[in-house]
Structure 1
Amino acid sequence: NKNLTLWQMAKKPEIRQVWIIMLATNAIEYACGVWGSTYLVAEKGFKAQHGALALTVYYFGMSIGRFVSGLLSGKISTWKRIGIGSAILAPAILIMLLPLPGTVTVVGLFLVGLGNGSIYPNMIHLTPHNFGKEVSQSIMGSQIAFAYIGVMLAPPMVSLISGLLGIKVYPVFLAVLYVIMIIALKCFINKLKTQNKYNPNV
Structure 2
Amino acid sequence: MATYFIIIIYLAFISLGLPDSLLGSAWPVMQLDYGAPLGMAGWLFMSIAAGTIVSSLASGTVVRRFGTGKVTLASCLMTACALLGFSLTPSVIWLFLCTVPLGLGAGSVDAALNNYVAAHYKAHHMSWLHCFWGVGATLSPMVMAQFISGDGSWRQGYLTIAAIQFVLVLILLISLPLWDKVARSTVSAMQDEPLSEDEGDMHGGAPVRPLHIRGVKLGLAAFLFYCGAEATLGLWGSSFLVNVKDASPEMAAQATSLYFAGITIGRFIAGFITFKLSNRTLIRAGQITALSGTLLLCLPLSSGFSMAAFMLVGLGLAPIYPSMLHETPLRFGKKHSQSIMGYQMAVAYTGSTFIPPLLGYLASSLSIAILPLFILISVAAMMFSSERLNAFFSVNRTKDDGGAKSSLN
Whether these two folds match at TM > 0.5 is: yes
The amino acid across from 2:262 in the alignment is G
Aligned-residue CA RMSD (Å): 1.9
CA contact (8 A) 1:24 1:178 kept: yes
Q: 2:361 — aligned with what?
A: 160
The amino acid across from 2:314 in the alignment is G
Identity rate, percent = 30
Q: 1:130 — aligned with what?
A: 331
The amino acid across from 1:59 in the alignment is F
Larger radius of gyration: 2
| Matches of 2:237 and 2:299, distance apart in 1 | 15
In the TM superposition, residue 75 of structure 1 has moved relative to its aligned partner by 2.1
Structure 2: where are the runs of 5+ without partners? 1-59, 65-207, 401-409
Q: 1:33 — aligned with what?
A: 234
In the TM superposition, residue 9 of structure 1 has moved relative to its aligned partner by 3.8
1:79 to 280, 288, 295: 280
1:44 aligned to 2:245? yes
| Matches of 2:306 and 2:241, distance apart in 1 | 8
Deviations 1:68-93 (A, max 9, x none): 11122222221111122112112111
In the TM superposition, residue 13 of structure 1 has moved relative to its aligned partner by 4.7
The amino acid across from 1:134 in the alignment is K
In the TM superposition, residue 182 of structure 1 has moved relative to its aligned partner by 1.1
CA contact (8 A) 2:213 2:332 kept: no
Q: How does 1:1-202 map to 2 (within 5 A)?
A: 8-193=209-394, 199-202=397-400
Aligned residue pairs total 196
| Matches of 2:289 and 2:295, distance apart in 1 | 10
CA contact (8 A) 1:14 1:192 kept: no
Three-state SS of the structure 1 residue aligned to 2:393 is helix
The amino acid across from 2:304 in the alignment is T
Deviations 1:50-76 (A, max 9, x none): 211121111111112111111222222
- TM superposition score normalised by structure 2: 0.46
The amino acid across from 1:183 in the alignment is F
Structure 1: where are the runs of 5+ without partners? none
| Matches of 1:118 and 1:77, distance apart in 2 | 11
In the TM superposition, residue 12 of structure 1 has moved relative to its aligned partner by 4.1
In the TM superposition, residue 200 of structure 1 has moved relative to its aligned partner by 2.8
| Matches of 1:51 and 1:87, distance apart in 2 | 24
